Amino acid sequence: MKRIGVFICHCGINIKGTVDVERLTEELAQYPGVAYIENYIFMCSEPGQKLIRDTIIEHKLDGVVVAACSPTLHETTFQDALEEMNINRHQLEVANIREQCSWVHDDIEEGTRKANLIIKTAVEKLKLNESLTPIFASLTKRVLIIGGGIAGIQAALDIADGGYEVILVEKEPSIGGHMIQLSETFPTLDCSQCIMTPKMVAVNKHKNIKLYANSELESIEGFVGNFKVNIKRKPQYVDPDKCTICDDCTPVCPVVVPSEYDEGMGWRKAIYIPFPQSIPATFTIDTENCLGFNPIACTKCSDACEPDAIDYDKKPEYFEEEIGAVIVATGFDLYSVDNMAEYGYGKYPDVLDGLQFERILSATGPTGGEMYRPSDGKVPKEIVFIQCSGSRDPERHLPYCSRICCMYTLKHAKLYKHKVHDGQPYIFYIDIRSGGKRYEEFVQQAVSEDGIVYFRGKVARIYKEADKMIVHGIDTLTSKKIEIKADMVVLAMGIKPNNSAEKVISNLKLNTDENGFLIEAHPKLRPVESLQSGFYLAGTAQGPKDIPDTVSQASAAAAKVLALLSNDEISHSPIVAIVNEELCSGCGICVSTCPYGARELDEIKKIATVNDVLCEGCGACISVCPSSAAQQKNLTDEQILNMVKIYSYL
Amino acid sequence: MKEYKPKIVCFLCKWCTSAGADLAGTSRLKYPSSILPIRVMCSSRIDPMFVVKAFLNGADGVFIGGCHPGDCHYHEGNYHTRRRFAMLIKVFNTLGLESKRLKLSWISASEGTKFAKVSNEYTEEIKNYGENPSKWNVFL
Ligand SMILES: Cc1cc2nc3c(=O)[nH]c(=O)nc-3n(C[C@H](O)[C@H](O)[C@H](O)COP(=O)(O)OP(=O)(O)OC[C@H]3O[C@@H](n4cnc5c(N)ncnc54)[C@H](O)[C@@H]3O)c2cc1C
Ligand code: SF4
């Protein structure tokens, strides 16, 4: 019989607080198969691991159970410790007595009793574990990045500079994301376009980056190192190779619609280039508004186009790409202001959201950077900014802090003051969160130099009287009612995951949190990886953050991908299905059950087979096998039934 | 009198429900120690035989947790589970076993609160039913 060592971790008091580790050690010492048992304060520490390594030699162990935190945290740490002692890593089992035991129970009797059972199931499973070697598969050294905001752009450039090919997919006609819409950026007030456009051009020029703009991921199959993706490029109806960007088309187009780039503060035509520095630099026809799809109605742009670049009959194109890893950088959208009826958005043209105000501040915006209000073009002399609009309100809106709006509001007030010297900005706030590097200094400077008036409190109501917006609120510090007759109101809307991210995230089978942000493999120690191997996260798709944090995370994800690609082969978990040839009747039910096409019928032997490289180890084919011929390595029916027995016998 | 503590064998899929159970722990939510976890890769790995055996061996309840329909890490495993569970209920009813002691629930990695809530409610339910009466009577 296997000689199993059991190591019970105290995790400081995290486990010891609700599990009597001494008693457990005594109780389990006599359990069949347990050759050695010990408890220690921190098993994951170096002394803890050394204890395992030394005991393996001293007590001639050939299997180890570590009773500690969830296996998602330290399973590989302990597996590595075994391997160092030349014991196969599959001779380790982790008994999760923290997340699923000590942390969820209060009573020490209960906790100890349950921990005892959990450890016994781990011992039972380990008794029948086989030693396995990883399955090696080839590795495609190319990366897919979804989303061409600053996160996707930074990651693409880093990986491409590292010498590997990047496929960058952006759903909009141009890359740039939200950052290209911003005026100047806190805390240094450098112009967003000036720091962003060189990066966009670099993406376009880089020999290792293949850009699919106006495109979306259709499907993905395969596993880490070996994915096949299908990308759909939506038709732009203008051939980028022929288009010379002469802009003869837009003046003749009769259709005028609100510009997305200007957040509805300006206009564009039905044939348009999102903004002058768009990458790729091509025009696009917006089918929803163009009249030309009925050629009798309009062919004006096509008539004006000298190089004959316009083709109304263009169809979507589909491209297959092989890649080894994926970075998801789908970014954010503002929480919709339509949810904030009490603030009069949509009803009053001078109530704007943060991005609309960015466009008015921007030199490339609809007012050329001059401060005019939308309703009548007057210069606003008093502006009310409302922080936490839609954030930190678990009852009605987003429960979390959007992290950037305190800072961008202050930036807005400051930039406004730079443009309208006799103007008065007022800010309603709950707290001011300025935790970034040099952020507090930025706040202090603005408050002392720019004469911004802060009210701590929420705004109850906004209504219109003549050409003023009447803002009612309470200053909770003085308990006084506040009424301001403002010319303009800016709502510092919170941010949420990009509206079109949900579809692609569910396509990739990634996990999101209750707010739709991507979940990282570990909140502190693996912040840019997904638990699903081969997938990495960057930017605001993972949670609200500013540009410095977005860029750091994107470079971190790129570093992780570069580390993966520096291997020549990829190892694949050997916990796969196997077939007992003597029992298999060749019925083929497993073949139709496997979602990965890993099961095939061997026509000569008349039995089912398993392609190890394709098998992802879900086990679906095992429970459908009517002859019990299929098994899962190291999670056989016998192992599971032995665990069931521990729990259900009296 | 000693309080009756049910034994509930819980099969949790690695990607969703077990991760949700971990989150319940990280969030320090509380539920009874009657919840006894076995982690499998996918809920589709759960052979009906495991459930029957657990039940006849003396478990007072059997719980299966998987990813929400459409979210299965292995694309469609939980659809197999859903059909298999419906069939299990039929088999239990046909044999005169108490199918109300079986439970299937979709709990994602972000639903720690749901895991704790389901664990509390389900334990209460099983407590109301009392001990599993089949455990002395049926052998397999
Ligand atoms: C009003 C306002 C002012 C701000 N001011 C500042 C500031 O002064 N300083 C600062 O540091 N930060 C500021 N920020 C924050 C900054 O905008 C973000 O940190 C940054 O833009 C995040 O970049 P990202 O790449 O994660 O997301 P995004 O910029 O949202 O980019 C995501 C990209 O992915 C694409 N995409 C989404 N879904 C798909 C899909 N399914 N397929 C393909 N492509 C897809 C989108 O089209 C987009 O191009 C401000 C934010 C706001 C709202
Ligand atoms: S960053 Fe500031 S304004 Fe935005 S939600 Fe957080 S506290 Fe509110």
Q: Does B79 lie at the interface with A, CB-CB under 8 angstroms?
A: no
> Is there a cis peptide before residue A374, judged by omega within 30 degrees of 0?
no
Write out the DSSP string of A608-645.
EEE-TTT-----HHHHH-TTS-EEETTS-HHHHHHHHH
Query: Binning pLDDT at 50, 70 and 90, where does residue A525 land?
Result: confident
Q: Could you give the CA distance from residue A90 to residue A632 in angstroms, rounded to a whole number? A: 14
Indicate the average pLDDT of chain A: 94
Q: Could you give the CA distance from residue A397 to residue A389 in angstroms, rounded to a whole number? A: 9
Give the distance from residue A295's alpha carbon to the nearest chain B alpha carbon, in angstroms.
42
Position B73 pLDDT exceeds 90: no
Q: Per-residue pLDDT averaged across A101-117, rounded?
A: 96
Q: Per-residue pLDDT averaged across A337-363, rounded?
A: 90
Position A388 pLDDT exceeds 70: yes
Q: Per-residue pLDDT averaged across A561-582, rounded?
A: 94
Q: Does A645 lie at the interface with B, CB-CB under 8 angstroms?
A: yes
Position A394 pLDDT exceeds 60: yes
Position A448 pLDDT exceeds 60: yes
Structural Rg of chain B based on CA atoms: 15
Residues 6 or more apart whose CB falls under 8 angstroms from that of A636 comprise A128
CA distances for A589 relative to A350, A629, B113, angstroms: 64, 12, 37
- pLDDT of the residue at A351: 94
* Domains of chain A with bracketed CATH: 4-134 (3.40.50), 142-226+318-331+504-565 (3.50.50.60), 235-315 (no CATH), 333-496 (3.50.50.60), 576-632 (3.30.70.20)
Q: Per-residue pLDDT averaged across A128-142, rounded?
A: 94
Q: Per-residue pLDDT averaged across A128-155, rounded?
A: 96
Structure tokens at B54: 């657990």
* Domains of chain B with bracketed CATH: 8-131 (3.40.50)
Q: Does B39 lie at the interface with A, CB-CB under 8 angstroms?
A: yes
Q: Does A118 lie at the interface with B, CB-CB under 8 angstroms?
A: yes
Structural contact between residues A530 and A511, judged by C-beta atoms closer than 8 angstroms: yes
- pLDDT of the residue at A438: 93
This model of the complex carries an ipTM of 0.96
- pLDDT of the residue at B140: 52
- pLDDT of the residue at B137: 67
Ligand 2 atom at minimal distance to the Cα of residue A404: 1
- pLDDT of the residue at A522: 81
Window from A177-181, A448-452, B39-43 with minimum mean pLDDT: A448-452
Give the distance from residue B115's alpha carbon to the nearest chain A alpha carbon, in angstroms.
11
Q: Could you give the CA distance from residue A511 to residue A496 in angstroms, rounded to a whole number? A: 16
Structure tokens at A383: 């502006």
Q: Does A589 lie at the interface with B, CB-CB under 8 angstroms?
A: no
Sort out which chain B residues have CB atoms less than 8 A from A647's CB and list them.
7, 9, 36, 38, 54, 59
Structural Rg of chain A based on CA atoms: 30
pLDDT single digits (tens) B75-123: 889 999 999 999 999 999 998 889 999 999 999 999 999 999 999 999 9
Write out the DSSP string of A477-541.
TTTEEEEEEESEEEEEE-EEE-TTHHHHHHHHT--B-TTSPBPPSBTTTBTTB-SSTTEEE-GGG
* The model's pTM: 0.81
- pLDDT of the residue at A446: 87
Nearest neighbour of A622 by CB, restricted to B45, B48, B71:
B45
Q: Could you give the CA distance from residue A244 to residue A304 in angstroms, rounded to a whole number? A: 13
Residues 6 or more apart whose CB falls under 8 angstroms from that of A431 comprise A406
Query: Binning pLDDT at 50, 70 and 90, where does residue A1 land?
Result: confident
Pick from A396, A381, A475: nearest CA to A428: A475
CA distances for A515 relative to A102, A401, B137, angstroms: 28, 12, 48
Q: Could you give the CA distance from residue A357 to residue A380 in angstroms, rounded to a whole number? A: 12
Q: Which ligand is nearest to the CA of A490?
A: 1
- pLDDT of the residue at A186: 94
Query: Binning pLDDT at 50, 70 and 90, where does residue A398 land?
Result: very high
- Work out the percent of chain A whose per-residue pLDDT is above 70: 100
- pLDDT of the residue at A297: 82
Position A542 pLDDT exceeds 80: yes
Chain A contact probe: residue of B22, B31, B111, B113 with most A CBs at under 10 A? B22
Pick from A552, A383, A402: nearest CA to A469: A383
Query: Binning pLDDT at 50, 70 and 90, where does residue B138 land?
Result: low
- pLDDT of the residue at A650: 56
Q: Does the distance separating the beta carbons of B50 and A641 come in below 8 Å? A: yes
Query: Binning pLDDT at 50, 70 and 90, where does residue A511 land?
Result: confident
Q: How far is CA A552 from the centre of its chain?
A: 14
Window from A321-330, A334-343, A622-631 with minimum mean pLDDT: A334-343
Q: Per-residue pLDDT averaged across A216-241, rounded?
A: 94
